Every structure is written in C-alpha cells, then in structure tokens.
C-alpha cells in the first residue's frame, strides 16, 4: 500500500483524510499522466459524492481531461463501461461498505481493471508535489447518466435463465445499486421484494447491506422468499441468505460458483482464488471436488492480481467481493447474485440444499486503533500471536491484520473450541489496547 492508496483506492473521512484538494489532485494527476484523457466518473449515494465528484472533475478539467459523469452507479458498472465504451480511465467516488462520513476514490484503467500498486505509486508522485497542473486548453464536462442503461443490459444478458419462479429479497444498503438491482431482477422475471433501496446517502450501510444482514434474514423468513441478497454501498460485495435464514458469505458463494463452473469445464485450471481468511472447511470441500484453492493476502486487489497472473476465472473474499473473470475483471455483487440465482434455477434446488461444505468455526473481532503500523510492529503482540498459533496448530489458525480501509485491527481465530478461541481473542485485544 502507498501513502494515499489503501487496499481499495483512496479512502478516508471527508474533509479530514479525504479533502477537496486531494480529490482535485487525483483528477489532475490523471490528466498529467495521459494527455487529454476521457474519464468516466460514477458514485454511490453518499451526500459527499457530488462534492467530491465536482472536486475531482475540476482537477481533471484544469489539466485538459474530459469528464463524463454517469451519476449513481455500482462500481462494477464503471469497470464495464470504461472498457466497452473506450474510456481512458474510470473513476468511482465511493467508500464501499464504510460508514456515511467516509468516501473514497477508486480508479480503473481502460481495460476496466483497478490500478495496480505500481500505477498507484506513479500517481502518488504527482500528489507529492502539491501542485495543480493547468492546461491552456481545459477539458469538457458532460452528463452521461444514460450510459448506466448499457450496464443494466449487460447484467440482464449475463443470465442464462429466466428467474420467474423465484421470490428474491434485495437489500441494496441504500447505496449505488438501489435502482439498478431491483430493475435487473424484475426484468429477469423474479418477484422482487426491496428493503433499504433508497438513495438517501445519510443511511448508506446503516444497519443494513452486506455488513449487517439481520433485516434481510427477517424479510426472507417473513415473506417465505427463495433467497435474499445483500449488497454494500457500491455493490461490489454480496452476501446471501437462504430460504431457511442461513447466511452465506462470499467464500461460501464462491464455493457454489466454483463447483458449477467446474462442472461446465469453465473453471480455469480447476482452481479458485481465496484469501488468508477463507475458511479451512471450504478448502477441504473444494479439494473433495477436485478443485484447488490458492490463498492471497486480504484485499480484492491481491485476489485479482493472482487471478490475472495465473489466468484463473474465479476468486474473491469472505466479505463478498466475487470476481467472475469471464464477465468482468472486478467484483460485482449484482452479477454474482444473478449467477447464484441461475444455479438455483438450473439445479431446481433450494439454496440450503446446494451448500454442502462443513465449515470450521471462525471468531472475529475488530479493534479501533489510532496507529495500525505501531500495533502490528509491537514485539509483545508478535510473540503472543506466535504462541497462540503454535498452541492451536494444525487444527486451528489465528490471523491478526490491519484493515485496509478503516483505522481498525482485525482479529480472526479459526478453532473448534469456542471458549478457547474467544479466550485467545481477548488476550490479543488486551495487548492491542495496551500499546
């Protein structure tokens, strides 16, 4: 990670970490990196979205770039459109699953791929000089909200089947998919029940969406729906709830997709990419189906990097990022949900009947900190982690890491004994709070 870029673009609290000046510099940097670029810009529903879009656009326009504003759209929509409509860059103003006071800037290249770390570092060199480059020929700004319809058409065409026999609950987290997701599933024939599908930026990710599925569970159960899908603020994540109210995270959905693709001989090298957080139970279940699992560091950028390097077709994270490479080079919650619904239709099975892996219990806790680097470099913490790892290995695992998007340290213990697992988490937490 760089100075400004984290695991998923630039992110921070608006007017604190993420300022108008920084947004301008990002836009201006793209115009300096490529002469008179065509830049497609979209955003989620946050109140600060239009403010930062204006700031970013101003910087780009000053440098001679041309900005095309598609308005509120899922992150994956920008990835799809920047390639299909031949833009030089795609930019998303969003903080994904983070609270409303946060926002962020994600950048895609002309292939619809997120910038790699080398490309991010090159942009950051422009930030370091703290100077806006002004062209004698400023760029043009155009409103292009109708382009979102092309993304809608893409999603509809991704489905092999009609969904007319499915009752589906959609929780759009009051975010970027609030309009598009219900529209797509209705056009595919599903009976759609909407919750948290407003464009109220003050309620984005607030007790809803992929990070809080309790309201989705309740609605699925109370309406006797076949399945429920929860997206996050920019809809690059999806979590599902089956007809019995069981929650299926990103890794569990990847397992279903991997088995389906493998059966059709569409899973390249019969290998899927997960992360260090991927449940060991899924590793065992995948291997039982003669599918290999490769683990990367946590962060969809690392998953995508591994997929690209090895020419693999499927990967993702427990959090709900799911990359289905034959369709898009980035995570798309709505697309993944459509493919899961397709599996249900094709198999004529309920979602609860499709998932047959036995998971190992995982226990997680997030600790707010002021200095993530200081915590992770603490010798006492390192020794404690090693000690616990030795005590629970090989039956269990411990993972302590810094969040790539928030000031938090995340603790995960995977172990069959809940009492011992929580004891170790509490010991780690105590050390972190003492640092």
For 10-47, b/e burial (b = at least 16 CB within 10 A) is bbbbbeeebebebbbbbbbbbbbbeeebbbbbbbbbbe
CB 171 within 8 A of CB 96: no
How far, in whole angstroms, is CA 365 from its chain's centroid?
20
Q: How wide is the angle at C-alpha 320 spanned by C-alphas 265 and 45, nearest 5°?
A: 125
From CA 282, how far away is CA 267, in angstroms rounded?
Answer: 17
Q: DSSP label at 115? A: P
Cβ atoms of residues 307 and 325 within 8 Å: yes
State the alpha helices, DSSP H only, in 202-279: 214-223, 250-263
Nearest to 24 by CA among 53, 66, 67: 53
Torsion over CA: 251, 252, 253, 256 (sign): positive
CA distance 364 to 384: 17
Indicate the SS3 state at residue 201: helix
34 Rama class: left (phi>0) / alpha (psi -120 to 50) / beta: beta
Q: Hey, is 14 helix, strand or coil?
A: strand
Q: Please tell me the distance from the alpha carbon of residue 233 to that of residue 239, in angstroms, as a whole number.
A: 13
Q: How far is CA 271 from the centre of its chain?
A: 21
Q: Which of 103, 38, 81 is nearest to 234 (CA)?
A: 103
Q: Which residues are catalytic?
A: 96
Judged by DSSP in three states, 39 sits in strand
Q: How far apart are alpha carbons 109 and 72 in whole angstroms? A: 20
* Chain center to CA of 7: 11
């Amino acid at each position: 990670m760089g100075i400004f870029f984290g695991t998923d673009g630039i992110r921070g609290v608006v007017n604190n970490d993420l300022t108008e000046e920084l947004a301008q510099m990002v836009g201006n940097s793209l115009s300096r990196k490529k002469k008179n670029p065509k830049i497609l810009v979209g955003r989620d529903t946050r109140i600060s979205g239009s403010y930062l879009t204006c700031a970013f656009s101003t910087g780009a326009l000053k440098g001679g770039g041309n900005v095309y504003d598609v308005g509120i759209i899922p992150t994956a929509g920008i990835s799809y459109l920047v390639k299909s409509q031949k833009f030089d860059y795609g930019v998303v103003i969003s903080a994904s699953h983070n609270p409303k006071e946060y926002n962020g800037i994600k950048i895609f290249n002309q292939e619809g791929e997120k910038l790699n770390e080398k490309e991010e570092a090159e942009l950051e060199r422009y930030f370091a000089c703290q100077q806006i480059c002004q062209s004698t020929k400023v760029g043009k700004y155009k409103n292009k909200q109708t382009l979102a319809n092309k993304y809608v058409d893409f999603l509809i065409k991704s489905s092999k089947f009609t969904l007319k026999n499915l009752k589906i609950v959609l929780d759009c987290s009051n975010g970027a998919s609030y309009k598009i997701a219900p529209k797509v599933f209705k056009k595919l024939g599903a009976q759609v029940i909407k919750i948290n599908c407003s464009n109220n930026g003050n309620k984005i990710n607030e007790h809803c969406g992929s990070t809080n599925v309790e309201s989705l569970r309740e609605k699925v159960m109370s309406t006797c729906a076949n399945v429920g899908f929860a997206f996050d603020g920019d809809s690059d994540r999806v979590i599902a709830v089956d007809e019995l109210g069981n929650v299926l995270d990103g890794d569990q959905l990847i397992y279903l997709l991997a088995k389906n693709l493998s059966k059709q001989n569409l899973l390249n090298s019969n290998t899927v990419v997960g992360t260090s957080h991927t449940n060991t139970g899924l590793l065992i279940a995948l291997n039982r189906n003669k599918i290999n699992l490769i683990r990367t560091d946590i962060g969809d950028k690392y998953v995508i990097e591994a997929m690209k390097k090895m020419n693999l077709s499927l990967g993702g994270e427990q959090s709900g990022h799911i990359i289905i490479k034959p369709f898009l080079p980035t995570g798309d919650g709505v697309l993944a949900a459509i493919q899961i619904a397709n599996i249900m239709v094709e198999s004529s099975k309920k979602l609860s009947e499709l998932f047959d892996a036995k998971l190992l219990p995982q226990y997680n806790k997030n600790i707010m900190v002021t200095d993530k680097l200081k915590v992770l470099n603490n010798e006492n913490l390192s020794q404690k982690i090693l000690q616990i790892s030795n005590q629970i290995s090989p039956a269990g695992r411990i993972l302590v890491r810094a969040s790539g998007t928030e000031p938090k340290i995340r603790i995960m213990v995977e172990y069959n004994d809940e009492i011992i697992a929580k004891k170790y988490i509490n010991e780690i937490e105590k050390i972190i709070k003492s640092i």
